[in-house]
Structure 1
Amino acid sequence: MSDITTKNVGPVLKIENLTTSFKTSQGWKPVIRNISLEVGAGETVAIVGESGSGKSVTALSTMRLLQPGRSRSEGRILLEGKDLLAASEAEMRQVRGGSIGMIFQEPMTSLNPVFTIGNQVAEALVLHRGLSWKAAEAETLRLMERVRIPAAKTRLHEYPHKFSGGMRQRVMIAMALACRPKLLIADEPTTALDVTIQAEILHLLRDLQKEENMGVLFITHDMGVVAQVADRTVVMFRGDMIETGATDQVFAAPKAVYTKSLLASIPRLGTMGDAVSPRRFPEVDPATGEAEEGREMSPVSPTLEPILKVSDLAVRFDLPNGRVHAVEGVSFDLRPGETLSLVGESGCGKSTTGRAIIRLINPTAGSITVNGQDVTKAGTRELRGMRRTSQMIFQDPFASLNPRITVGSAIAEPMLAHGILSKRDAKARVAELLEQVGLTAAMADRHPHEFSGGQRQRISIARALALDPKFIVADEAVSALDVSVKAQVSNLLLDLQEKHGLSYLFISHDMAVVERMSHRIAVMFLGEIVEIGPRAAIFDNPQHPYTRRLISAVPIPDPSRRGLTQPPLSEEIKSPVRPFDYVPPKRVYREVSPGHLVQEIVGA
């Protein structure tokens, strides 16, 4: 081991006036400027800000992982007193995974799919701690048990694709902690995870940090998570550090206007009061950062005939060793102008339900009626007609937009394909739709890569509106967006609903957003609806244990309430794979209050 890790008195990490620049055709362009911060042993410092603020570049600069020749870093990055910017590449190889561990946002891109989990964790132990492969495998098993991976001994020799997102993230934590680092850099480690898995990972990281007295640099845009984990907070905006201080002080008395607007944009559970209908997100004044509570939207008439009826829907997929019961016995209806939210963890069947309703996948059983027409029995021509009234907004707008055509062409495509408008009229309609979603007509000639994530989601909404639908499936439509952009796009969806009388099936795992967006909520678990009812009934009087678990796992953006949430459950979600001869039991629902139904808990 190089003397780069020699023990020194003082902070574990000290960054002084760090400026990192990227090489462009116009010369060197600084992307972060004069960043200074410290992380002590046993301390968690959070770097927060929206996409493009420079959070991840700060972390990658610290690890010296940016491309040489295309980037340069100036200033000082001191790890226990030794300057990493002056270290050789050989010394940095010892630091990475040795003195500094790093957890990346997406574990599947960080794990090699052709090597077993055990092999990948053991490799770090062999390289950095000089263990034999046999000793490294034994230590790997101990680490996997330590991060609470169920049946760790049998899973040691499995490949990454056989692990859930939450389990893969635990493997990344085990790998990052394998060499007992002095500093852990966690770059958005829970952003892609469901709220219950997120709570569990944060709980695990806190426990491991206490055991090792490790410094943690936590990078995120989720202020609720910051309130739960950070001792001190650094706020970044467009490459500059605009505010720093103790987390409780930053939350209680933010000084910078941007920090105020960031905190004002956070959706918070329990702010809806007695509101029956959805409520717009707070309107933030860009000059002061202050916010006024958004107005309540129009109520839905209970006498209207449902635009969508789903009855005993089932979707199953056959595997060589069994059958996945992805959706089982799901029933609900949706009235014009109403939002019904489907909530639950990944794998619970939310998206499968939405895709089956739109007939992007074929249901196994049950009926789906849209505007009086049974979708399950519709042929190609009938489906084509149905899609004029039923549309879908996908989670990842970049993946759902063709990168080779302009956004104007993408929005016009459905209108031309259905023969509704001529090319000339379609062009005028595209301009109108772009204006409706808060963009400009001039943007029609740009390609998807020229837009931010929030703008691309607005383009996807414009395309969904092109055929004047009455019903939209919004599948995690705001989940990947930064907090302020999430509020803007959510308000846009509410405004369009009120203007056009749209019905939404709003699929999400973000309970704070769901509370503001919904008239009613259906909670899904292992392919079944376990509780359904009006928004207030679900949040004020949750009956099913899983509903309570979902709500209690939501991070509260208030540092004074840190640690008051219920301890998370540590077991992995059960598998929906059943034997081929499995017959689903008929579920019984109890009515708690008008329209509030909860599944009776019986043996599966």
Structure 2
Amino acid sequence: MTNTLAATVPENTTDIARPKPVLSVEGLSTSFSVDGDWKNVVRNVSFDVMPGETVAIVGESGSGKSVTSLSIMRLLAKGTSRINGKIMLNGKDLLSLTDKQMRDVRGNDASMIFQEPMTSLNPIFTIGRQISEALTCHSNLSQADARAETIRLLEKVRIPNASSRFDEYPHQFSGGMRQRVMIAMALASRPKLLIADEPTTALDVTIQGQILDLIKVLQEEEGMAVLFITHDMGVVAEISDRTIVMYRGEAVESGPTDDIFHRGKHPYTRALLSAVPRLGSMKDSRWPLRFPIVDVTTGVSTVPTEVADTVDKRKTPILEVKNLTTRFDIRSGLFGRKSGAIHAVENVSFDLFQGETLSLVGESGCGKSTTGRSITRLVQPDSGEVYLDGYNVLTLDQASLRNMRKSIQMIFQDPFASLNPRMSVGATIAEPFIAHRLGTKKQAQDKTVDLLERVGLTADMMKRYPHEFSGGQRQRIAIARALALDPKVIVADESVSALDVSIKAQVVNLLLDLQQSFNLAFLFISHDMAVVERVSHRVAVMYLGEIVEIGPRAAVFENPQHDYTKKLMAAVPVPDPARRAIKRDVATDELKNPVRSVDYLPPVRKYCEVSNGHLVQVE
């Protein structure tokens, strides 16, 4: 019997034991038609994704990582794109399938989560209907069964009160909850492969932590293979088993994530890793610290230097905010009577000194952006006092307000939205100088040239238009425009949150250099705690429109007192692959609703001084 059994076993038994990849990509090349020529944007990329494995593709915008994922799913326009190579999914050659066969693959065998859920969800249909549709398209479920399964999926992705939220619309969900809906939709047909294309880039740090933990849990439960696309090396460390680094359309390095992080050989890999802000890296630094910049061709790194202390607190603050309150009325009924109000900013007070950076941090909806807009009178506050250079901003008439804005400027999150696409870059930067009649057109042009060079661009770019620049370059242009009036205060509202990690490092360094050159005061609004730690002199943590903790950067980061501050810091991804198995167990509840009834009276808050200048709200 023994001999008979032995005869039936193939000699190479290792082939039987080795699992087959869920996805196998060989020699993938993708080209796009540009002005009649074919431009190759992905070149000869090969990799496998095994069952239950997470493979991350990392790189900056333009590296080809998203095009790679869209090529795998065959979501590129037929007439203007070409895909060559071999893409095998569960034994199916995807490039040989018809369009109808490929539609059956999408959702059944492979699903995709995109970066911005609001553009992926249909605003006119309820989220329940959209997930149910994904189910009924790929199965014979009845409407009642599809509804029950949809509610089960919503519960699976940790959406509270799933049955009652079935009939709600996308706009009624927060960004994090919308991304959960997209994950539920992607999981509807239990695919073997989940492709997540920058699923956490636009999310707050706590929501990002929740989504990463959720993907880990669902992967364990469903045994899915995950292809995770991102430019955030902190996220890569926490979620991926293997990593592929892409640069200019090519995979320049790949291997186990631990090897990439600790023994990465390619200069571009080292450049990406050096640009990652690490929470706690400022422990021995007194003042803001520049990022190290690595040459992607040589791997040589510049040593970051501290920014010299230019803050003089013996003088009067350049900006004083006292009891600032901003609310937005909610009206309902036939006659539009006021039925409540959104308490966006509630009794906020702080000072800002010349040459200082005060960071406002918190999740979306906490009121930090409304605070910045209220100070500049882009939003009209309900009450309070804002003194800028000695003048009460909230009492100024239109002429005085226009004059005041020379002293305070804003840099917005999305430079493409804030730059006029029909105006050249030169005209955009010169416009405020000319509008405020600060000099002749020749002087405006000279100032524009000087500002372009100061922000790392060149004079010959003046005639170009915004669409001809990268995201990082557009943000530099927005910074140059903000400096055109020689302001004393700049409100930077999430000005680097949408940028790739290395571009973010460059722009942050630029802001620190400009602060030192012009002695600027920055109100830096952000949810990125690691960047905030690097650039700040002081930090104010906001929650539900109120400052719950404020103090020197070292005091807040090294000795956080408020529970919400601790929650924010616990959610920051750490670029250490050893943490891959760790789950933060961040609470999945949404930020509490700031909507209040008409007769609501906010409680009087008390603050305790923990150390010199370190104040914490007490219950």
Name the TM-score, length of structure 2 as normaliser. 0.95
CA shift in 2, pair 1:360/1:150, >3 Å: same
Q: Distance in 2 between matches of 1:478 and 1:164?
A: 21
Q: Partners of 1:566 and 1:534 in 2: how far apart?
A: 27
- Percent pairwise identity: 63
Q: Which residue of 2 aligns with 1:43?
A: 53
CA distance in 2, matches of 1:521, 1:464: 23
Report the equivalent of 1:567: 585
Question: Does the Cα contact within 8 Å between 2:19 and 2:50 map onto a contact in 1?
Answer: no
- CA–CA distance in structure 1, aligned partners of residues 383 and 584 of structure 2: 38
What residue number does 1:364 align with?
A: 382
1:51-73 Cα distance to aligned partner (Å, 9 max, x none): 00001100100001000111110
User: Does the CA contact (< 8 Å) of 1:276 and 1:535 recur in 2?
Assistant: no
Q: Which residue of 1 aligns with 2:451?
A: 433
- Seen in structure 2, the aligned counterparts of structure 1 residues 274 and 386 have a Cα distance that, compared at 3 Å, is same
Q: Which residue of 2 aligns with 1:28?
A: 38
Tell me the distance in 1 between the aligned counterparts of 2:220 and 2:214.
Answer: 10
How far residue 484 of structure 1 moved from its aligned partner, in angstroms, is 0.6
Whether the 8 Å CA contact 1:530–1:599 is kept in 2: the answer is yes
Matched, 1:284 2:302: no
Aligned residues of 2:213 and 2:584 also touching (Cα < 8 A): no
Structure 1: gaps spanning 5 or more residues: 1-7
Q: Is the 8 A contact 1:368 1:376 kept in 2?
A: yes
Aligned equivalent of 1:310: 321
Instruction: Report SS of the residue matched to 2:315.
Output: coil
Deviation string 1:554-602 (CA, Å, 9 cap, x unpaired) is: 000010133446321111111000101000111000000000000002x
2:32, 2:204 → 1: CA distance? 34
1:385 deviates by 1.2
Aligned to 1:187: 197
| Equivalent position amino acid for 2:505 in 1 | A
Larger mean Cα displacement after TM superposition, 515-524 or 276-285: 276-285
1:4 is matched with: none
Partner of 1:127: 137
Task: Give the Cα–Cα distance (whole angstroms) in 2 for the partners of residues 23 and 52 of structure 1.
Answer: 16
Q: Aligned residue for 1:460?
A: 478
1:475 is matched with 493
Q: Report the aligned-residue RMSD.
A: 1.1
Task: Provide closer, same or farther for how the CA distance between residues 216 and 205 of structure 1 changes in structure 2, counting only shifts above 3 A.
Answer: same
Is residue 421 from structure 1 mapped to residue 431 from structure 2 by the alignment?
A: no
CA apart distance, 1:23 = 1.2
Q: Distance in 2 between matches of 1:522 and 1:129?
A: 51
| 2:65 counterpart (35, 55, 76) | 55
| Mean CA deviation greater in 119-128 or 553-562 | 553-562
CA contact (8 A) 2:213 2:583 kept: no
Q: Please give the alpha-carbon distance, in whole angstroms, between the structure 2 residues aligned to 1:78 and 1:354.
A: 51
Partners of 1:281 and 1:364 lie apart in 2 by 40
Is 1:443 the counterpart of 2:453 in the alignment? no
Note the alpha carbon deviations across 1:145-200, whole angstroms, 9 max, x for none: 11111111111001111111001000000000000000000000000100000000
Q: Determine helix, strand or coil for the equivalent of 1:129.
A: coil
Match of 2:188 among 139, 154, 178: 178
From 548, 552, 557, the counterpart of 1:530: 548
Contact 1:552/1:565 (<8 A) preserved: no
Partner of 1:509: 527
AA aligned opposite 1:65 = L
Within 5 Å, give how 1:129-278 maps onto structure 2. 129-278=139-288
* Matched residue, 1:377: 395
**Aligned residue type for 1:187:** D
Counterpart CA distance in 2 for 1:10 and 1:182 is 12
Kindly indicate whether the alpha-carbon contact (under 8 Å) linking 2:240 and 2:580 is maintained by their aligned counterparts in 1: no
Cα deviation 1:432-480 (Å, max 9, x = unaligned): 1100100001101000000000000000000000000010000011111
Equivalent residue of 2:462, what SS? Answer: helix
2-structure distance, mates of 1:548, 1:63: 40
| 1:512-567 residue CA offsets vs partner (Å, 9 max, x unmatched) | 10011000000000100000000000110000000000011000001013344632
Deviations 1:363-383 (A, max 9, x none): 011110000100010111111
Q: CA offset at residue 255 of structure 1? A: 1.1
SS at match of 1:361: coil
For 1:325, the equivalent position in structure 2 comes to 343
CA distance in 1, matches of 2:255, 2:182: 29
In the aligned structure 2, how far is the partner of 1:507 from the partner of 1:242?
A: 35
C-alpha displacement of 1:304: 2.2
Structure-1-length-normalised TM-score: 0.97
Which deviations, in whole Å up to 9, do the C-alpha atoms of 1:199-256 show, x marking residues without a partner? 0011011000000100000000000000000000000001001000000000001111
Looking at structure 1, the residues matched to 493 and 386 of structure 2 have their Cα atoms a distance apart, in angstroms, of 18
Deviations 1:296-333 (A, max 9, x none): 11222221210000011110001134210000010000
The answer to whether the Cα contact below 8 Å between 1:407 and 1:444 also exists between their aligned partners in 2 is yes
Q: CA deviation at 1:275?
A: 1.8
Distance 2:303 2:267 in 1: 18
- Distance in 1, matches of 2:393 and 2:583, equals 43
**Aligned length in residues:** 594
The reply to whether residue 592 of structure 1 matches residue 603 of structure 2 is: no
SS at match of 1:30: strand
Quickly say closer, same or farther: Cα 1:565–1:538, change in 2 above 3 A: farther
- Tell me by how many angstroms 1:485 deviates: 0.5
Q: Which amino acid aligns with 2:554?
A: A
**Largest Rg, 1 or 2:** 2
Q: Greater shift after overlay, 354-363 or 553-562?
A: 553-562
Give, as a single letter, the amino acid of the residue that structure 2 aligns with 1:314: T
Q: Does 1:343 align with 2:361?
A: yes
